[in-house]
Amino acid sequence: MIATDLGPLRATALAGALTLALSGCGLFTEPAHKPRAARSPAVAVQQAHGCPPSGVRLGTGPVDGAMGLRAMTLTLTNCSERPYEVKGHPAVRVLDEQGAPLTGVRTVEGTDEVFMAPQDPGAAPLTLAPGESARAGLYWRMAAEDGTYLRVVPQQGREALNVRPAEPLDIGPQNTLGTTAWAPVS
């Protein structure tokens, strides 16, 4: 007798689940970030080819996220014909679509202030021969605003480099962006 009472309940639950699935609500969602359409940048970024006057090219990896922690790699490549010295942590500012700094986002050296971020290995002097690269990590907790550009100073006293990552940084007010020190790419 109980089985016949559950029959209509099961049918109703199945119909509801199918309705949600077919309507696109609830069960199937779009990715958090869609690839960006190509258009004129609001911030001057490096050209896709060649070596800029700074002698280094800056690139970013994809955003990796799990349990609210986000990570992105910065890659600095010496494209000049002479050695390029770097030591320490990059100074990073997160900019919006118009190129203004996101309000309330604080950048710190190290990862201690970003919950669940891996430990920063610490700074060591590094000389990049022509063609060599160094990497630094960026870590933050997911928030509501999208950072469109990054303005990066590889080391104090060096020229700022602008880059537009393939994916925005979903960071926002009252958030901390932790950076790891530059390390050689092996």
Q: What share of the chain is helix, strand, coil (3-state, %, to 5)?
A: 10, 35, 55
Q: Quick one: which of 147, 152, 180, 179 has its CA closest to 77?
A: 152
The amino acid present at 107, given as its one-letter code, is T
Using DSSP's 3-state secondary structure scheme, residue 118 falls into coil
Residue 75, pLDDT above cutoff 60: yes
Using DSSP's 3-state secondary structure scheme, residue 84 falls into strand
The tens digit of pLDDT for each residue in 110-120 reads 999 999 999 99
DSSP annotation of 4 reads H
Q: Is 102 exposed, middle or buried (0-12, 13-18, 19+ CB in 10 A)?
A: buried
Question: Considering only 24-38, 89-103, 128-142, 147-161, which range has the smallest mean pLDDT?
Answer: 24-38
Residue 88, pLDDT above cutoff 60: yes
The tens digit of pLDDT for each residue in 98-153 reads 999 998 999 999 999 999 999 999 999 999 999 999 999 999 999 988 999 999 99
Asked whether the beta carbons of 57 and 77 are under 8 A apart, the reply is yes
pTM exceeding the 0.95 threshold for the entire prediction: no
Residue 32 pLDDT = 39
Banded pLDDT at 41 (limits 50, 70, 90)? low
Residue 60, pLDDT above cutoff 60: yes
Residue 83, pLDDT above cutoff 60: yes
